[in-house]
Structure 1
Amino acid sequence: MAHERVVHREAGGNVNVSPDVDRLCRALVRVGCSIPTQRVAEALLMTERLSNSLDARVPGLQRQAEFLATPGSSAQWQVLMRLVAAGMLLNHLTGMRRDWLSALPGMGAALEIWQLLTGAANRSRQQRYPLTAAGWARFAQEFAGDSEQQILPGPWISPELVGARAPLDTLVTQAIHQPLPGEVAVLVLAGDASEQLERLTRTLSWWSRKDCGVLIPVWVGETKKVPATGTNASQVLCSLADNRPVTIACALLEAEAEWHQSMGELKCLPLITLACQPATAAAHELTTVTDWPVATAVLRQPRRPLRPFMVTVNRPDPHWQSGDHEVLPLLDRYFADICEINPALRPRLASHVGATNEVLPISHERLGTRADGTAGALLHHHEGELLANACLGNQMGINLLVTDESAGLAMLEPLLQTVAFARRQKLDDEPAPWAGLPLVSRHDAAAPEMTEALLSQSADQVRVLLIPDGNTALAALKACYGESGVVMQLVIPDGRVDSLLTPTMAEQLVAHGASCLRGHCAAEIQLVACGYLSLQQAFRISERLQQFQRPHSLVYVLEPGRFRYARDSTEAGCQIDSQIIDGLFPERVRQRLVLCDMRPEVFIGHFRRLHLEHSQVLGFRNHPVARTGRMPQANGCSWLHGLVELALSLGLPEDSWMSAAEWLSLQPRRHQP
């Protein structure tokens, strides 16, 4: 479609408006923005000029970028460039910035260029690529470089982009939870629209007008694949073949107006579709571009940041425990306390374990009855991926994710993708602005795969804590909300446990990652436990050694990931100091017995910094049994097995520290294949 002129003439400082300007003014009024016509015309004129000028730059930049080399990508990128132009135009006119949610690399490339042109890019990017001929030459030369070098644009979506989110495969199911009240976010999709919109709509049941903002899905694709109006996934607000910035801007404003006028709960999303037209980019193939298009302050972006740089959570002291107790109810109460003392932060409690009112009764009572912004606070679903995305989408609030360890594997993909992007932000000196996400998983002795998978990640972004009692769990949850961009798995015991540690001891254990619970670490025998079940076995071995007056120590390892060799300087910042390791695990120990709630090979891989030459490591050997109480015996890691291994390593008879009955009870199991 031929471009209509934005103005008829410019003479004597007066601007005679075209129907485009009048249409945009009316759309602005619908969302409560009454702006002088001349200002709208000037901004729209500059947007159209910049957009047309950038069209000539698409082919040259595309030749350098492999991610734009697929068929039809040039047309898609041109559409995305105009979509971003429309968003920048609205930001300028309304004084409100909009977030961009997308996994499309072309979207990041468009944001990169338009943020530089409008002054919205961060300061380091503006200094590296000034709006001069030399700045353009440098940008064109470095286009599509590696962003982890911290100086080059791309790959996209990169942490350097202002207002852009992580390029997650699961972003569609997180998007509805991301905007806060008063915010507007644009979700840009491509590919199979029906499938993605169906995934998006699945989480609408948790959306609440009281604590959520506006999300506008925009689908970019070929005309023949445009979703039909009235699909179950969404309603198509408008389908645009005219992809000029003014047309897209009016469509975005119309979608915002639809959101604001809908008084009931949200059942479907107003969808905008943009059709790609491959022939439009070919005309610029031979154009040589040597400098930036002329930019002007007419499109200066709002300076007010869209969101606070960092979420700060006020953390009261927990209600410390004594005696025996269940761990999950303690965390339930503490989460409710934190939500009440942080009323400005949106809460999300997602439970994969039973009904929330049965498993988490305190939060269900306190958050479920409040009317001020907590209608979507309690989430329960049988699909762990949806629950994880709901919490990950609530990055500017308080989250608690509860699951069984054996059922949590479905949560891994969104969790790992999110922390991978957060780590890139840290490498670029832009820490992720969201408070730590606690993942509470009840231990399953027969399925430690989730814990082992998370242990393989960078210890500075994914922290795995094997909790021995309630006080340690409370100290860990408090510490988690004090960090940023971190997922912390709390592997808690299932059932009632004794209070093994005082509050001070629990906080020290969380801070140091390990602690000596019995004896002196310089004793010739050392017992090491990692996990609640292993600790119970270690206590029984310790009691037997005390009966035989054998000096020993018992060290509990809470966070194995902090003891391995660091993979890079960033991970080294969270590792345990060598002096602490030498104090807890001295070389003079004659024999060390390790019991762990995971496969021995996983533990050994994390503890290569320790002196394990004279050590025996017992753990899960992939031998599940019906009764959890039989797990240590079936896997050869019970306290009796530990006594045998310890005696043999010291050159003593196998049954040195056992009664005849204990030896006989162990004998049949020791020789099973």
Structure 2
Amino acid sequence: MSQILPSPEELAAHAAAEPEYARWLRGRGPLQHSVQTQAAVFRVAHQLVQYGLQPDLASVYRLFGALDRLTCAGLWLVAHMTYARRVRLDGAPLQPEDFKAQPEGHTGGALNMVPAYAGYLALNALSGKTRGWLMGQGHCVTAIDALNVLTGNLHPEQAAAYGNGEAGLDRLVQDFYSYAQTAEGKVAAPLGSHVNPHTAGGIAEGGYLGFAELMYAHMPLPGETLVAFLSDGAAEEQRGSDWIPRWWRAEDCGTALPVMIANGRRIEQRTDLGTHEGLEGFKLHLRRCGFDPISFDGRDPAAFVCALWEMEERLQHRVDEKERGILRYPLPIPYGIAEATKGYGFYGAGSNAAHNLPLPGNPSVDAEARDLFNQHAAPLWVEPDELAEACQLFIASRSGRVLERDNPLAVRRPIEPSIPPLHYRNDECSPMAALDRFYVDLCGANPDLRARVGNPDELASNRLGGVLKALRHRVSEPESELEAVDGRIITALNEEAVVSACLANQGGLNLVASYEAFCVKMLGAVRQTLIFARQQKEAGRPAGWLGWPLVATSHTWENGKNQQSHQDTTFCEALLGEMSDMVRVVFPADHNSLLALLPDIYRSRGQLACIVAPKRERPSVFTQAEAEQLARDGAILLDEHPGAEPLLLIANGSYQLAEMRRAALRLEEAGYPYRLVYLQEPGRFRAPRDNWELPALADESIAMRLFPDHYERRVLLTHMRPEVARGHLWPILPDALKTAVLGYRNQGGTLDEAGMLFANRCSWAHVLAACARLLDVPRSALLAPDEAAAVAGKESPAVLR
């Protein structure tokens, strides 16, 4: 760390005067303290006393000594979680029967995370302030669980299972990768292979490497601090993380402290950061991006304490200088680089094998592997009374502050937003106009809820000009009235980065809008958030963040200006496959139907909504009352022409509704009875997959009223691919032989709306051809000869326009 530090001679004199410092200097097991770290601890100790955070230097050094013992115990326990069926707190060597028949774990990374998370705990203890934490490499969760168990930082279910001394630790190592299930098929243990809602203080799974890098700066609110542990492999490959200094503002962001664990290895390869040249090059790259890199010894928990403290001090100093007019945005963001060896502290450190199972064999059957385990675990063992004394220092430090389990980011629950007046219309207009006005009014009515708009550079094109004018792009040097230093729109041609900004903003109001085809790039980040929120609900601690919409517009059926890459219904189809209580997938057909959806979307908690909406002008279909009923029920009866054995026509999508209404008119002219239903929210009419999803479905009485059993012949015209729609909607499409489903067939190109509909056999005429088949009448009964010829591909489709 580039700072003024005492000389080795001064440190030696200090050790002679401070026995606790001298005791800490000796290290513990594999933990050795470099001269740089010795000097940094000296400096931090004096600052903590000067700031009144600690009574004296001896108290500080005593906790640093406890930190070494806690870290060794954490390393010891992580190794046992991978390999052992039990622990021996007396330090005796494990015997063959003490080992798992099938060891499993992400051992190397978890070993590297032990000093990192232990250092985080120690900083909280020393400063009297509880920070939040985030771990991009969620597979290293054993480090978190081990240290949480040792320090009593647990949710009730983990405390009951693992908090009972040696017996609890035995159950901890047995439960890890036990694959045990409940009768319902759920994971039986309050434990996982990644960060999960049972992990005290956890806020994200970290299953997709690289997303934490995109999210951390957008997570803390002013007055909060977040320590973000990041992966070196992800950091050098996820370029969106380079832009954090562009977005961070002290006025609406809390302190964010990124720390990369530079252990130099992926699963199978060395990373570029595993070389001196690569590491130096990365530091240079960080500086060019506006970061202030700080390298330190990633093997030593004390170095983490000092680095995090220094990062906080530097950032606050930069904010002070900015307020005095010395600096301007972007401020240099401190970025810790913890230089370590993969799997340090145990056998196999630095090897590819360190990632998963570092030993050369299975200790339960391999004597050499067993000897190696015992040999390398022995230096990590801490005598129980000594460990208890060390842990008690951490526990005692929580007096007057919340547990790490309950840090502000982990218990986020913003106030319910005030919903502004709704402005319904009866003229032809873009449905996106409803969202444009509503979101601006919503942000205006709720100034205490931080607004974030994720924008892949198409707001104006997507008819959100009011949002753009009111909230403005966040930039460092504004060039127009649509840009501002304090703008609330995060704009980048990187869908993962912009959606992550909103997924991270769990204390505020969010909106993401993109071309439907490009939304597919957001799926991994969105799905990770949905899964974590669902697991929180199942654990009895439901997510408290406010719901918001992911808007897929400029969509497949109206994006003929571009080539077929811009015509893709995958996003809504994929989200329809997720649990309907966690994400709603809705297809408003006009302005009013979209507007009526928005209040409940933004009042919901822990639930997203995928809105598939056209941006072009569309006719007004629904009155205010109809739109509100449609929002409540998920579908609505639009028209009915009674008679014997009528057809049930179901439209899903704005352009699909227009085609279906045109087909219905022809049926009526031909004397065939029908019922026309608009299906706005398909997920409401699926079969529930578990009891949690059941309340999100439409009441059976609604389904029977809209889709009565005596309507045997049914035609669905959907925005989506027909196979996907048929699979999800089998409860309302019960007889495949008496049902026709039309939708996107992967056809397209540079075509207008009518051309796209024809190319995919989704025009009104194709609907009538399907009706004729179900009615067992010739197409000529419903279509003129030239129309039938066009449907058959024998005449120009122009006749159908």
Structure-2-length-normalised TM-score? 0.75
Structure 1 position 298 matched with structure 2 position 396: yes
- Structure 1 vs Structure 2 CA RMSD: 3.5
- The SS at the match of 1:326 is coil
Matched, 1:499 2:620: yes
SS in 1 for 2:426: coil
SS of residue matched to 2:636: strand
Question: Counterpart in 2 of 1:62?
Answer: 82
Deviations 1:217-263 (A, max 9, x none): 22223485462274122456433237443332121110111111112
Mapped partners of 2:313, 2:628: distance in 1: 50
Q: Does 1:622 align with 2:674?
A: no
1:171-204 alpha-carbon deviations (Å, 9 max, x no partner): 2112221122122112212333761575422243
Task: Report deviation, 1:330.
Answer: 1.9
- Give CA-to-partner distance per residue, 1:415-471, whole Å, 9 cap, x none: 122222222222222222322231111122243232223222222223211111111
Equivalents in 2 of 1:393, 1:596: separation in Å?
A: 33
In the alignment, structure 2 segments of 5+ residues that lack a partner are 1-7, 22-37, 85-99, 181-185, 265-273, 323-327, 348-374, 475-480, 558-566
- Please tell me the residue identity of whatever aligns with 2:762: C
Q: 1:262-411 residue pairs with structure 2 within 5 A?
A: 262=318, 263=322, 264-266=328-330, 268-276=332-340, 280-281=345-346, 284-286=376-378, 293-294=387-388, 295-296=391-392, 297-300=395-398, 302-303=401-402, 305-307=407-409, 308-311=411-414, 312-352=416-456, 354=458, 356=460, 359-368=463-472, 375-411=486-522
- 2:68 paired residue number: 48
Alignment partner, residue 209 of structure 1: 250
**Of the candidates 43, 49, 55, which is equivalent to residue 23 of structure 1?**
43
SS in 2 for 1:391: helix
Question: Map of 1:445-484 to 2, 5 A cutoff?
Answer: 445=557, 446-484=567-605
Contact 1:118–1:300 (CA<8 Å) still a contact in 2?
A: no
Q: Which amino acid aligns with 2:214?
A: T
Would you say the 8 A contact 1:535–1:556 is kept in 2?
Answer: yes
The worse-fitting range, judged by mean Cα deviation, of 525-534 and 267-276 is: 267-276
Deviates more, 1:281-290 or 1:175-184: 281-290
Distance 1:513 1:298, change over 3 A: same
Q: Aligned partner of 1:221: which letter?
A: A
**Which residue of 647, 653, 658 maps to 2:772?**
647
What CA distance in whole angstroms lies between the structure 2 residues aligned with 1:6 and 1:285? 34
User: Does the CA-based 8 Å contact 2:433-2:591 persist in structure 1?
Assistant: no
Decide whether the 8 Å contact of 2:144 with 2:199 is kept in 1: yes
Would the alpha carbon gap of residues 606 and 476 (structure 1) be closer, same or farther in structure 2, given more than 3 Å must change? same
Q: CA 1:382–1:305 in structure 2 vs 1: closer, same or farther (change >3 Å)?
A: closer
The correspondence for 2:131, drawn from 89, 95, 98, is: 98
Measured in 2, the distance between the counterparts of 1:384 and 1:528 equals 33
Contact 2:49 2:55 (8 Å CA) reproduced: no
Equivalence map 1:475-624=2 (5 Å): 475-519=596-640, 524-610=646-732, 611-612=734-735, 613-624=737-748
Pairwise CA distance, 1:669? 4.6
**Cα distance in 2 for residues equivalent to 1:59 and 1:622:** 51
Q: Deviations over 1:572-615 (max 9, x none)?
A: 33223333222211121153222122222122111211233422
Residues 534-587 of structure 1: CA deviation (Å, up to 9, x unaligned): 110111122233334543211111111232223333233322333322221112
Percent identity of paired positions between Structure 1 and Structure 2: 27
| Residues 57, 387 of structure 1: alpha-carbon distance in 2 compared, 3 angstrom cutoff | closer
Which of 160, 166, 181 is residue 222 of structure 2 equivalent to? 181
Q: Distance in 2 between matches of 1:458 and 1:486?
A: 10
Q: How far apart are the structure 1 equivalents of 2:17 and 2:594?
A: 63
Is the 1:237–1:255 Cα contact (8 Å) retained in structure 2? no
Structure 1 residue 99: Cα displacement: 1.8
1:161 to 196, 199, 212: 199
Structure 2 residue identity aligned to 1:100:
W
The runs of at least 4 aligned residues of structure 1 exceeding 6 Å deviation read: 1-6, 18-21, 65-68, 287-292, 520-523
1:62-97 Cα distance to aligned partner (Å, 9 max, x none): 325989756xx45x5444222222211222233322
CA deviation digits over 1:397-420, x for unaligned, max 9? 211111111222212221122222
C-alpha distance in 2, partners of 1:171/1:237? Answer: 18
Name the CA distance, whole Å, in 1 between partners of 2:139 and 2:772. Answer: 64
Cα offset, 1:522, TM superposition: 8.9
**Which whole-Å CA distance do the structure 2 matches of 1:118 and 1:463 have between them?**
40
Structure 1 residues without counterparts, runs of 5 or longer: 11-17
Aligned to 2:545, the other structure's residue is in SS state coil
Shift of 1:492: 0.7
For 2:443, give the aligned amino acid: C
Q: For residues 161 and 60 of structure 1, what CA distance do their matches in structure 2 show?
A: 18
Distance between the aligned counterparts of 1:143 and 1:620, measured in 2?
Answer: 45
What SS does the corresponding residue of 2:661 show, helix, strand or coil? helix
Give secondary structure in 1 for the equivalent of 2:618.
Answer: strand
Please give the alpha-carbon distance, in whole angstroms, between the structure 2 residues aligned to 1:191 and 1:458: 33
For residue 496 of structure 2, give the secondary structure of its aligned residue in structure 1.
helix
Note closer, same or farther for the CA distance 1:194–1:394 as it changes in structure 2 (3 Å cut).
Answer: closer
- Determine if the alignment matches structure 1 residue 423 to structure 2 residue 534: yes
Can you list the C-alpha shifts for 1:33-83, whole angstroms capped at 9, x where unaligned? 64321553454443333334444434323325989756xx45x54442222
**Of 199, 224, 240, which aligns to 2:296?**
240
Q: Answer whether contact 2:232 2:263 (CA < 8 A) is retained.
A: no
Q: Deviation of residue 20 (structure 1)?
A: 7.6
Superposed displacement of residue 621, structure 1: 2.4
Paired AA for residue 567 in structure 1:
R
Distance 1:244 1:382 in 2: 39
Asked if 1:444 is matched to 2:556, the reply is yes
Instruction: Specify whether residues 551 and 78 from structure 1 end up closer, same or farther in structure 2 by C-alpha distance, changes over 3 A only.
Output: closer
62 and 559 in structure 1: CA distance in 2 versus 1, 3 angstrom threshold? same
- The correspondence for 2:143, drawn from 84, 91, 110, is 110
The offset of 1:494, in angstroms, is 3.0
Q: How many equivalent residue pairs?
A: 660
Counterpart amino acid of 2:625?
T
1:14 maps to which residue?
none
CA distance in 1, matches of 2:742, 2:39: 78
Distance across 1 between alignment mates of 2:782 and 2:75: 82
Supply the AA of the counterpart residue of 2:556.
D
Provide, for residues 461-520 of structure 1, a one-character-per-residue CA deviation record: whole Å limited to 9, x for no partner. 232111111111112222221222323111112311122112222222122221111127
Equivalent pair of 1:348/1:376 in contact (CA under 8 Å): no
What secondary structure is seen at the aligned counterpart in 2 of 1:96? Answer: coil
Change (3 A) 1:602 1:20: closer
Post-superposition offset of 1:158: 1.6
**In structure 2, the residue corresponding to 1:266 is in which secondary structure?**
coil
State the SS of the aligned residue for 1:176. Answer: helix
2:572 counterpart letter in structure 1? T
Closer/same/farther in 2, CA of residues 202 and 522 from structure 1, 3 Å limit: farther
Secondary structure in 2 aligned to 1:570? coil
* 377-386 or 337-346: bigger deviation: 377-386
2:246 aligned with 1:220, yes or no?
no
Q: Assess if the C-alpha contact under 8 Å between 1:634 and 1:669 holds in 2.
A: no
